Amino acid sequence: MNWKKFGTTVGRMWLAYLVYKISTLALLYSFDGLQSKPYYEFIYLTIVIAITLVILNFTKKIFKQKISFNSNVTSLKKQWPTFIVPLFLYGTDTFAILPTITEYSFYIIMATIASALGAAIFEEVRDRGFGSIGISASIENSKWKPMFIALVTSFIFATTHYFNLLMPNAPTLMATHQQVVFAFFLGMTSIVLYMRTGSIIYSILIHFLNNFSFWTPTSDLSQDEGWASMLIVYALIPGLYSLWCLRPRKAEMNLKYLPSKR
């Protein structure tokens, strides 16, 4: 294992997140009530897109690889069953609320899209794109390599959500715990999509659908939910799905679009 590349990857993943979090927290604490204003979502989108562009540049410079945004329709056709479970899990709620779109102003709809899309692009490029490419380049190919990449990137993705407790309008600790568990398994399903298609666009789409909820002054606050239903629907099901897709017998398929050790 190349510990230098591994450390560089994990370190820069955390650095990108800390730059984003410090920037947004500085704004939120400098301007009272900013978090509850819809125009903040456009500021947020600008910040995360700027950091995302830096991450894309880092990926090319450090690992000599590009994070693909191509649709790769051919690979998706071959792997379409792996797309169905994430789409059902994380898209159903969005499709259910879309008929109510006429109840909201164009401004609120655009703020909603900015919020959901910003997080989806930034987190998928950082964790599934940069993270998986960097960790893949750090270790030799083996039947357990896809699982290792998935676990590490999902753990980092999930634990960053604890920093939400620092926000002015912070969720409760219990809600944050649930968000972290939820994020871990979302990360596991997202990395499957990225590995199987070679494109970040599909995990961004699923992440966007998951985040999409019409903006309100309290929409940034996670709500406490029952652990039983959350663990069954958003942990057990995606967990089994991910383990099945990442099983050692499918290592060659999961490594097809990721770079080999250099």
Tell me how far apart the alpha carbons of residues 262 and 251 are, in angstroms, rounded to a whole number.
18
Domain ranges of the chain: 3-255
CB 65 within 8 A of CB 59: yes
More confident residue, 72 or 63: 63
pTM of the model as a whole = 0.94
Tell me how far apart the alpha carbons of residues 125 and 69 are, in angstroms, rounded to a whole number.
10
* Crossing angle of the two packed helices 173-197 and 201-211, in degrees rounded to 10: 150
**Token digits for 101?**
């779109």
pLDDT above 70 as % of the chain? 98
pLDDT of residue 222: 78
Question: CA torsion sign, 24 to 26 to 27 to 29?
Answer: positive
- Give mean pLDDT, residues 133-159: 96
Tell me which residue of 145, 124, 131 sits closest to 193, measured CA to CA. Answer: 124
- Give mean pLDDT, residues 14-40: 96
CB 221 within 8 A of CB 169: yes
More confident residue, 75 or 51: 51
CA distances from 180 to 116, 154, 155, 185 (A): 17, 10, 9, 9
pLDDT digits 0-9 by tens, 123-136: 999 999 999 999 99
Distance of CA 25 to the CA centre of its chain: 20
Lowest mean pLDDT among 20-24, 109-113, 176-180, 217-221: 217-221
